[in-house]
Structure 1
Amino acid sequence: MEAVDPTIYRLAIFVLAVFVGYYVVWSVTPALHTPLMAVTNAISSVIIVGALLAATAGVGAPPSPDGDGGEGFSRIVGTIAIILASVNIFGGFLVTQRMLAMYKKKER
């Protein structure tokens, strides 16, 4: 019996995470939206740390003897992750500000 490629397992986990995330986010009541955004911003900040590590992969290291180009791919994907997570954090803060402004008392 042949073993299943680990990439298939990772892809299956990713697809399941997308479905679970979709149903969790869209079933949240409006009153819980602000705490959810705060948690999302915290998760994105952790993603930025990992993306920074990926974007700087191989920087300052001596060239590898076999000459594989894995560092270039890691830098590209890391840079894209930094951009997307930054947009998510910034947008989350904007949405959170708007939600909190709705609960402030109006001045006359």
Structure 2
Amino acid sequence: MEEILSLFYDNREFIFLIIVSVFLGIEVISNVPAVLHTPLMSGANAIHGVVIIGSIIIMLQADPTNYYALILGLIAVVLGTLNVVGGFVVTNRMLEMFKKKSK
């Protein structure tokens, strides 16, 4: 328990930065018009592809006994993959709306 508390205490600036980034991201995303949602989602897919590759590289270079790095890397890979797949599903559904219907 002391290790976890010291981890939070030693990295309190980074934790504060993440919390502020979450609130800022929610505010920015909630003000995006619906027309721009799909193009922004496609851009997010590219960014999260980089996140997935970066987290895999970090996990490969992490010490096998450093469970914090491995768990955070696994979470980054899973969440990045979910975002990429979800973005492609949403983009595909939107593109289907513009196809001509066959009779």
Query: How far apart are the structure 2 equivalents of 1:53 and 1:25?
Result: 29
Secondary structure at 2:61's aligned position in 1?
Answer: coil
> Structure 1 segments of 4 or more deviating over 6 A?
none
Give the TM-score normalised by the residue count of structure 1. 0.74
Could you tell me how far 1:15 is from its partner in structure 2? 1.1
Query: How far apart are the structure 2 equivalents of 1:102 and 1:77?
Result: 38
Query: How far apart are the structure 2 equivalents of 1:86 and 1:14?
Result: 20
Q: Kindly name which structure, 1 or 2, has the bigger radius of gyration based on alpha carbons.
A: 1
1:21-100 paired onto structure 2 within 5 Å: 21-58=25-62, 69-70=65-66, 72-100=67-95
How big is the alpha-carbon RMSD for the aligned residues of Structure 1 and Structure 2?
A: 2.1
| Unmatched segments (≥5 aa) in structure 2 | 1-8
Give the TM-score normalised by the residue count of structure 2. 0.77
Could you tell me how far 1:37 is from its partner in structure 2? 0.1
Larger helix share, 1 or 2: 2
Is residue 41–residue 92 contact of structure 1 (8 Å, CA) maintained in 2?
Answer: yes
Write the letter of the residue equivalent to 1:91.
Answer: G
Render the CA deviation track for 1:32-73: whole Å, top value 9, x for unaligned: 0111101111111111122101221247xxx9xxxxx32x33
Write the letter of the residue equivalent to 2:27.
Answer: Y
Is residue 54–residue 77 contact of structure 1 (8 Å, CA) maintained in 2?
Answer: no
Larger RCO, structures 1/2 (Cα 8 Å, 6+ apart): 1
